Amino acid sequence: MTTFWGGTAQIFGNRDVSYRQDNLIAGELQPVPQNITLKGNQGVLRRGTILGKDKTGVYVVSKATATDGSEKSLIVLVDTYDTGSGDVSGAGGYFTGEFNANRIIMDDSWTLETLRDAARPLALFFQDVVNADNPT
């Protein structure tokens, strides 16, 4: 595998393996990760992106307006991945947990409230976390 360096990111294969404290995880509920397959040709998907499983069984950026199932089977992406070369097997997705609402990445079709409502039955919670990076 080839290692690419760009800014502070270190890409190994198609995964960002660099460490940066990003405060994505919030609260006491233990996040539960599982391996997933990302659909190819979505570009770079960053850690914290809200994904959903489409009718073919691969994960795509979730849109509230979707009708392929990806609007319901929500997860949070564990790491940053480049899907430009095709499907990415073995990517990580958080299936449950508490996450910082200020650090998740969601499609513009969602509002935080509609996303919270859709994710609550799945034990995904998005908290308003106040910290030095986001004091309001």
Structural domain contains residue 109: yes
Q: In this structure, what CATH number is given to the domain that contains residue 64?
A: 2.40.300.10
Q: Report the distance separating Cα 100 and Cα 86, nearest Å.
A: 29
Does a structural domain hold residue 118? yes
Q: Which domain holds residue 91?
A: 26-127
CB 108 within 8 A of CB 67: no
Q: Is 21 among the domain residues? A: no
Count the domains in the chain. 1
Q: Are 67 and 21 in contact (CB under 8 A)?
A: no
Question: How crowded is residue 105: how many other Cβ atoms within 10 Å of its Cβ?
Answer: 15
Would 6 be classed as within a structural domain?
A: no
Residues in a beta bridge with 103: none
Query: What are residue 99's DSSP bridge partners?
Result: 25, 126
**Does some domain include residue 47?**
yes
What is the residue-level pLDDT of the chain in tens, covering all 136 positions? 333 344 455 555 666 655 556 789 998 899 999 999 999 999 999 999 999 999 999 999 999 999 999 999 999 999 999 999 999 999 999 999 999 999 999 999 999 999 999 999 999 999 997 655 555 5
Phi, psi of 75 (to 5 degrees): -145, 170
User: Which whole-number Å values give the CA distances from 14 to 21, 47, 74, 83, 102, in the listed order?
Assistant: 20, 13, 22, 7, 26
DSSP string spanning 17-59? Answer: --------B-SSSPPEEEEEEEPSSS-EE-TTBEEEE-TTS-E
pLDDT at 129: 78
